[in-house]
Amino acid sequence: MYNIIALLDDFYENYPNDIIPLLEQAILNKKDPEISTWFAKTVKGADIKAHEKVVLDSNNIEYCYKFAYEVESADVKALGKVIIDSQDAKYNYLFARNIEGADIASHAKVVIDSKDSQYNYYFAKDVEQANIKDHEQIIIDNKDVIYSYLFARDIKGANKEELARIVLESGNPHYNYLYALYIKGADIKKHAQVVIKSGDLEANFNFATDVKWADKEVHAQVLIDYEKYLQTGQYWRAVYTFFIEKIKKIQENRNNKISSFDIPIEEDNDFSQIKELLLKI
């Protein structure tokens, strides 16, 4: 369809105006919502209502949204009703966010009823008249760890305590690290315990180096304890080298190099050396 639109653009720019009415009638007869949207948006004097009827009759929610977004004097109420009746969370969110005069409450209801964490988060974040608590409750009910973290991070008035509970109960070390790092008022100790209990090497390393008030020694001990699980010298060397290089990068960024970075990478090295470096950061 892209090539047809490109040809129409070229035709419109280079042919006499008296041909345009014939072109419009041919387009209306085709009953294609994309081409009618293009014509209504592009051609001065286009029969907006006729092209809008093509779009409405198609029930194509993408072009109902685009027509409302791109065409002046579009019937927002009629186009919005098609979107609402579709029960599509994405386009109800987009319509409420971007179309002046949209029925915010009706679009919000579709998004809430969809129980979709992503679009409930987007709606609460981007739509000025959104009821934050209604959208937040969907994310809490879904026990969605990703959007619980994002909701707490991005949305003023979020219930951070309840969202933190979802993150803590998930046992996910990465999002507990992020919650502790970025959410003001987070219970650092509780999130740290999840990360420590997970045994995740990188999450413990990141928590120790990035989170203010983190107990670096406890997180470093997770790295040391992991040594006994290493199965081959090659794997051992790769893991050890990975964390040494991460420490180097952190120190270089802080313009405070540690002389002990010259430690040779040998198979008999152990994570206690990483612990010593961590405690110096």
Give 112-135 as a DSSP string. HHHT-HHHHHHHHHH-TT--HHHH
Q: Collapse the DSSP code of 51 into the 3-class scheme (helix H, G, I; strand E, B; otherwise coil) and give the result.
A: helix
Q: Is the pLDDT of residue 152 over 60?
A: yes
Instruction: Give strand ranges (E) for 136-265.
Output: none
**pLDDT band for position 209 (cuts 50, 70, 90):** confident
Q: Is the pLDDT of residue 263 over 50?
A: no
- 256: exposed, middle or buried (Cβ count in 10 Å: 0-12, 13-18, 19+): exposed
Q: Is the pLDDT of residue 122 over 80?
A: yes
Q: Is the pLDDT of residue 247 over 80?
A: no
Q: Is the pLDDT of residue 48 over 80?
A: yes
The CA–CA distances, whole Å, from 99 to 75, 104, 144 equal 11, 10, 29
| DSSP conformation class of 217 | H
Angle at 144 between CA 151 and CA 188, to 5 degrees: 65
Mean pLDDT of 196-225: 85
- Mean pLDDT of all residues in the chain? 85
Predicted pLDDT of residue 9: 58
Long-range CB contacts for residues 118-125, cutoff 8 Å, separation at least 24:
118/89, 118/147, 119/89, 119/90, 119/92, 119/93, 120/147, 121/147, 121/150, 121/151, 121/154, 121/155, 122/93, 122/97, 123/93, 123/96, 123/97, 124/151, 124/155, 125/154, 125/155
**pLDDT band for position 35 (cuts 50, 70, 90):** very high
Q: Is the pLDDT of residue 262 over 60?
A: no
Distance between CA 269 and CA 136 in Å, rounded?
A: 48
Q: Is the pLDDT of residue 280 over 90?
A: no
